[in-house]
């Protein structure tokens, strides 16, 4: 479902030197599989997810997503592929503050091939327990509720792969556990694969076979952290 080969990304440091951030020779994820990657802050895990999502263009290598080579596409096609196949859960949720809960989910769907489906958006919000908060704005919700909106938005478009970047980073332990269980459950229900990155051992402990991002990312080899 996801196959990453020789994926590279570097940035120009303020002193003019090019710094490698991501260098992943190989990484794969099967359909419906749920994998957690452990990564410290600054380890390049967000950049790795951005490269998989096509938000950033890679310097080299391949990202094969559900049979389509993301890295070979131009920006507009990458945007379309992202809307079609990917769901993204951000650490800070990144909800649109001026939009209602329902609109946030509807808008998340509208760029995909199925278009905005209010009934399905409502169903998704009911599934995450927010059926009674459809017309609320994000600022009127608790942090845990905002996280659930982000989950509903990421899954509403029936993605093949959900990328979750420190999804519980802003939640307390109790809510983090609940949110994680919800994300995994909803992904399973929708048959979506899940790639989660976190530095929280509690979160990582929930995954049977979590991996260390430092082992995958060759750019980190020999870099003191």
The smaller minimum CB distance to other proteins, of residues 94 and 218, is found at 94
Q: For residue 67, what are the CA distances in angstroms to 64, 96, 163, 191, 211? A: 6, 31, 17, 17, 24
Q: For residue 222, what are the CA distances in angstroms to 38, 54, 215, 218? A: 18, 28, 11, 9
Among 4, 21, 22, 53, binds other proteins (CB under 8 A): 53
Among 23, 34, 43, 47, binds other proteins (CB under 8 A): 47
CB of 153 to other proteins, least distance (A): 8
CB of 127 to other proteins, least distance (A): 19
CB of 208 to other proteins, least distance (A): 28
User: Binding mask 133-172 vs other proteins (x if CB under 8 A, - otherwise)?
Assistant: --------------------x---------------x---
Q: Give me the phi and psi of 74, to 5 degrees please.
A: -75, 170
Q: 74-133: which residues touch other proteins (CB under 8 A)?
A: 75-76, 79-80, 82-84, 86, 88, 90-92, 94-99, 103, 106-108, 110-112, 116
**Radius of gyration, CA atoms only, the chain:** 17
Q: What is the rounded distance in angstroms from the CA atom of residue 111 to the CA atom of residue 208? A: 34
Tokens of 11: 């940035």
């Amino acid at each position: 479902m996801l196959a990453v080969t020789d994926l590279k990304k570097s940035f120009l440091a303020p002193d003019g030197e090019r710094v490698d951030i991501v260098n992943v020779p190989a990484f794969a994820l099967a359909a419906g599989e749920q994998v957690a990657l452990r990564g410290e802050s600054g380890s390049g895990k967000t950049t790795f997810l951005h490269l998989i999502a096509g938000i950033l263009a890679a310097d080299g290598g391949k990202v094969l997503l559900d049979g389509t080579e993301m890295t070979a596409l131009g920006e507009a096609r990458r945007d379309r592929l992202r809307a079609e196949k990917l769901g993204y859960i951000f650490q800070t949720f990144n909800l649109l503050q001026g939009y209602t809960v329902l609109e946030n989910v509807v808008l998340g769907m509208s760029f995909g091939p199925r278009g905005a489906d209010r009934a399905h958006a409502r169903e998704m919000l009911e599934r995450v327990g927010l059926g009674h908060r459809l017309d609320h704005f994000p600022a009127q919700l608790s942090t845990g509720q905002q996280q659930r909106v982000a989950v509903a938005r990421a899954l509403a478009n029936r993605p093949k792969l959900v990328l979750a970047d420190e999804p519980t980073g802003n939640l307390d332990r109790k809510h983090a556990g609940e949110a994680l269980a919800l994300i995994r459950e909803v992904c399973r229900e929708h048959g979506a694969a899940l790639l989660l990155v976190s530095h929280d051992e509690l979160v990582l402990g929930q995954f049977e076979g979590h991996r260390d991002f430092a082992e995958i990312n060759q750019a980190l080899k020999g870099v003191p952290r």
